[in-house]
Structure 1
Amino acid sequence: MIKKLLYLLYIGVLVPVTAFAQINTDRVMTIGKNALYFEDYVLSIQYFNQVINAKPYLADPYFYRGLAKMNLDDYPGAERDCSEALERNPFVVNAYQVRGISRIRQKNYKGAIEDYQRALKLDPENISLWHNLVLCRMQEKDYTTAQAELDTIIRISPRYTDAYLMRVENSLKLKDTLQAMNDADRAIEMDRYNPDTWSSRGMLFMMRSQYKDAESDLTEAIRLSLRNAGAYINRALARYYQNNLRGAMSDYDLALDIDRNNFIGHYNRGLLRAQVGDDNRAIEDFDFVLSVEPDNMMAVFNRGLLRDKTGDFRGAISDYSTVLAEYPDFLAGYQYRSQARRKTGDLKGAEEDEFKVLKAQLDIQNGKKPSTASNEKTRKKSDKNMNNYRKIMVADNDSNEDKYKTDYRGRVQDKDVNILPQPMFALSYYERIDDVRRQVNFFKAVDDLNNRQVLPHRLLITNNETSLTEEQVKQHFASIDTRTAEIVKDPKNAIHYYARALDFYLVQDFDNAMQDLDSAIVCDPTLFTAYFSRALISYKQLEFRKRDRKFELDNVDEKLPQVRTIDYTRIREDLDKVIELQPDFVYAYYNRGNILTVMKDYHAALADYNKAIELDNHFADAYYNRGLIHIFLGNNRQGISDLSKAGELGIFSAYNIIKRFTMPTE
Structure 2
Amino acid sequence: MRCYDLAKFTIYQVAELNKGLIELSPIQQALIYSFCENHDKAIQVLDGITLNKPDVPMCTLLAKAQMKAKRNKAYLSRVAYYGLKGRYSKAILSCNEAIKIYPQSVRAYVYRGVLKYYSRNYKLAITDLTTAINMDKNSYIAFYNRALCYTKINELQMALTDYGIVLLLNAGETVTLNTFINRGLIYAELEQFNFALEDFKQAALISKTNVSLCQATAVCYHRNKEFEEAVNFFTWAVKIDPRFLDAYIGRGNSYMEYGHDEATKQAQKDFLKALHFNPVYTKARICLGYNLQAQGKFQKAWNHFTIAMEVDPKSYLAYEGRAVVCLQMGDNFAAFQDINAAIKINATAEFLTNRGVIHEFMGQQQNAMRDYQEAISLNPTYSLAYFNAGNIYFHHRQFSQASDYFSKALKFDPENECATMNRAIANTVLKRYEEAKEDFAYVVESCPLWAAVYFNRAYFYCCLKQYELAEEDLSKALSLKPNDALIYNLRAEVRGKIGLIEEAMADYNKALDLQEHASVV
- Equivalent residue, structure 2, for 1:353: 503
Question: How do 1:536-551 and structure 2 match up within 5 A?
Answer: none
- Equivalent residue, structure 2, for 1:332: 489
SS in 2 for 1:72: helix
> CA deviation digits over 1:505-532, x for unaligned, max 9?
xxxxxxxxxxxxxxxxxxxxxxxxxxxx
**Distance in 1 between residues matched to 2:425 and 2:516, nearest whole Å:** 22
Question: How do 1:400-439 and structure 2 match up within 5 A?
Answer: none
> CA deviation digits over 1:588-612, x for unaligned, max 9?
xxxxxxxxxxxxxxxxxxxxxxxxx
Q: Does 1:118 align with 2:283?
A: no
Find the structure with the greater CA-based Rg: 2
Displacement of 1:334 after TM fit? 4.3
Letter in 1 for 2:503: D
CA contact (8 A) 1:63 1:95 kept: no
From 66, 70, 91, the counterpart of 2:243: 91
Displacement of 1:211 after TM fit? 0.8
Letter in 1 for 2:339: A
- Equivalent residue, structure 1, for 2:371: 217
CA contact (8 A) 2:332 2:361 kept: no
Q: Does 1:164 align with 2:319?
A: yes
Displacement of 1:280 after TM fit? 4.3
Change in CA separation of 1:126 and 1:333 when aligned onto 2, cut-off 3 Å? same
> CA deviation digits over 1:615-666, x for unaligned, max 9?
xxxxxxxxxxxxxxxxxxxxxxxxxxxxxxxxxxxxxxxxxxxxxxxxxxxx
- Equivalent residue, structure 2, for 1:141: 296
From 256, 270, 283, the counterpart of 1:104: 256
Change in CA separation of 1:142 and 1:214 when aligned onto 2, cut-off 3 Å? same
Q: Does 1:282 align with 2:436?
A: yes
From 199, 207, 216, the counterpart of 1:67: 216
Runs of at least 5 residues in structure 1 that lack an aligned partner in the other structure: 1-8, 11-23, 53-59, 343-349, 375-666
> CA deviation digits over 1:320-349, x for unaligned, max 9?
45446664985434433334424xxxxxxx
Displacement of 1:266 after TM fit? 1.9
Q: Does 1:233 align with 2:387?
A: yes
From 414, 425, 447, the counterpart of 1:293: 447
Change in CA separation of 1:152 and 1:61 when aligned onto 2, cut-off 3 Å? same
CA contact (8 A) 1:36 1:44 kept: yes
Q: Between Structure 1 and Structure 2, how many residues are aligned?
A: 334
From 197, 208, 211, the counterpart of 1:41: 197
**Distance in 2 between residues matched to 1:93 and 1:113, nearest whole Å:** 14
Letter in 1 for 2:257: R
Q: Does 1:76 align with 2:225?
A: no
From 122, 127, 148, the counterpart of 2:282: 127
Change in CA separation of 1:98 and 1:32 when aligned onto 2, cut-off 3 Å? farther
Change in CA separation of 1:63 and 1:98 when aligned onto 2, cut-off 3 Å? farther
Displacement of 1:209 after TM fit? 0.8
> CA deviation digits over 1:138-184, x for unaligned, max 9?
22222222222222222232222222111111122333333212112
The alignment's TM-score, normalised by the length of structure 2, stands at 0.55
> CA deviation digits over 1:563-595, x for unaligned, max 9?
xxxxxxxxxxxxxxxxxxxxxxxxxxxxxxxxx
CA contact (8 A) 2:491 2:507 kept: yes
- RCO higher in structure (CA 8 A, sep ≥6): 1
Superposition CA RMSD, Å: 3.5
**Distance in 2 between residues matched to 1:355 and 1:34, nearest whole Å:** 69
From 469, 489, 509, the counterpart of 1:315: 469
SS in 2 for 1:141: coil
The alignment's TM-score, normalised by the length of structure 1, stands at 0.44
Letter in 2 for 1:274: T
**Distance in 2 between residues matched to 1:257 and 1:81, nearest whole Å:** 33
- Equivalent residue, structure 2, for 1:199: 353
CA contact (8 A) 2:249 2:274 kept: yes
Displacement of 1:370 after TM fit? 4.1
CA contact (8 A) 2:326 2:334 kept: yes
Letter in 2 for 1:75: F
**Distance in 2 between residues matched to 1:323 and 1:115, nearest whole Å:** 40
Letter in 1 for 2:335: A
**Distance in 2 between residues matched to 1:371 and 1:253, nearest whole Å:** 39
Change in CA separation of 1:285 and 1:180 when aligned onto 2, cut-off 3 Å? same
**Distance in 2 between residues matched to 1:301 and 1:188, nearest whole Å:** 39
- Equivalent residue, structure 1, for 2:414: 260
Letter in 2 for 1:76: E
Letter in 2 for 1:68: T
Change in CA separation of 1:27 and 1:354 when aligned onto 2, cut-off 3 Å? closer
**Distance in 2 between residues matched to 1:121 and 1:287, nearest whole Å:** 50
> CA deviation digits over 1:452-491, x for unaligned, max 9?
xxxxxxxxxxxxxxxxxxxxxxxxxxxxxxxxxxxxxxxx
